[in-house]
Amino acid sequence: MDLTRANQHINEFARLIRQKTFNPYEGELKVGVDLGTANIVLSVVDEKENPVAGASYPASVVKDGIVVDYVGAVQIVNQLKSQVESIIGKNLTKAATAIPPGILSGNIKAIGNVVESADMDVINIVDEPTAAARVLGIKDGAVVDVGGGTTGISILRDGKVIYTADEPTGGTHMSLVLAGFHKISFEDAEKIKKDVNKQKDVFQIVKPVVEKMASIVKRNIEGYSVEKVYVVGGACCFDDFENVFEKELGIDTIKPVKPLLVTPLGIALHCS
């Protein structure tokens, strides 16, 4: 699978967020709101699915698809919306959002309500691994979205999702293991986990968590013809993450660039 075009779009989206700028666009804009466990991301693409603008904010107002701080979530989405609107000079009136696979209907409604409280009509709610698959252009295989608290899995065949699952174990569990190992607070463990200069040492400590994630995936894809696994999400940013998966699964495991931004970009592509 050639991810050259997908990686180009992801890198461009990252640049737009970092530089707080926008690209010229054609036609109607599509907006995505990703209410993640560690970050809330607003993404904008045009009719040709090219990245236009974006904004991100670290937050802990949503846990595994459950809104735990409704007011805080609405405030952040409003802030990101205003920021992007000022960058592109256009009001954003509708959006898509996403959920981990398998969450309860009441939680789905709450996520939609957060976006609508930011004065945007919710026109689509997609599961997170499926959103990622859209960015990567995947027709067959399994997409694994490693979030803050869960590992989400979607199996695709001929471009259609035939199976989804979501189970506990994600980036939060890495931080808990790290905190226990160093006997430090969870917050300090989070900072160490995100320090790129300490990535190699951190990964040796959290590797058992990654192996557990792989075992979850292995159990869920059993019985399906899966030749490739694609991993996305902030918790899989470690250099050797995909190598551990490949060893545990015995299946080619591919990770795009900046995996944290894949799903947010894919949500915007589903805004139709």
**What integer is the mean pLDDT of 223-238?**
94
Q: Which amino acid is at 249?
A: L
pLDDT digits (tens, 9 = 90+) for 213-225: 999 999 999 999 9
pLDDT-derived band at 209, boundaries 50, 70, 90: very high
Q: At what angle do helices 171-182 and 199-221 cross, to 10 degrees?
A: 140
Backbone angles phi, psi at 134, to 5 degrees: -65, -40
CATH class (in words) of the domain with range 4-133+260-269: alpha beta
User: How far does CA 29 lie from the centroid of its chain?
Assistant: 21
Q: Does 138-256 match 4-133+260-269 at the fold level?
A: yes
φ/ψ region of 25 (left if φ > 0, alpha if ψ in -120 to 50, else beta) reads beta
What per-residue confidence (pLDDT) applies to 234? Answer: 87
Could you tell me the fold of the domain covering 138-256?
A: Nucleotidyltransferase; domain 5 (3.30.420)
pLDDT for the residue numbered 246: 96
Q: How far apart are CA 101 and CA 151, in angstroms?
A: 9
- pLDDT of residue 128 exceeding 80, the answer is yes
Mean pLDDT of the chain: 93
Q: Give yes or no for residue 188 having a pLDDT over 80.
A: yes
Residue 121 above 80 pLDDT?
yes
pLDDT tens-place string over residues 62-115: 877 788 899 999 999 999 999 999 999 999 999 999 988 777 677 889 999 999
What are the residue ranges spanned by the domains of the chain?
4-133+260-269, 138-256
Summarize the confidence of residues 240-258 as an average pLDDT: 96
Average pLDDT over residues 194-201: 92
pLDDT on residue 63:
79
pLDDT for position 74: 95
Cβ distance 236 to 257 under 8 Å?
no
pLDDT, position 183: 97
Instruction: Quote the tokens at residue 202.
Output: 């951190």
For residue 37, pLDDT over 90 is answered with no
* Rg (alpha carbons) of the chain, rounded to whole number: 18
Q: What is the pTM of this model?
A: 0.91
pLDDT at 26 over 90: no
Bridge partners of 232, per DSSP, are 145
Does 1 have pLDDT greater than 70? Answer: no
Non-local (6+) Cβ contacts of 37 within 8 A are 60, 62, 63, 64, 147, 148, 149, 170, 171, 172
User: What percent of the chain is predicted at pLDDT more than 90?
Assistant: 81
Q: What is the pLDDT of residue 38?
A: 83
The whole-number average pLDDT for the span 49-69 is 89
- CA quadruple 265, 45, 269, 94: dihedral sign: positive
Residue 47 is predicted with a pLDDT of 94
Section 28-49 average pLDDT: 94
* Residue 63 or 163, more confident: 163
Amino acid present at 235: A
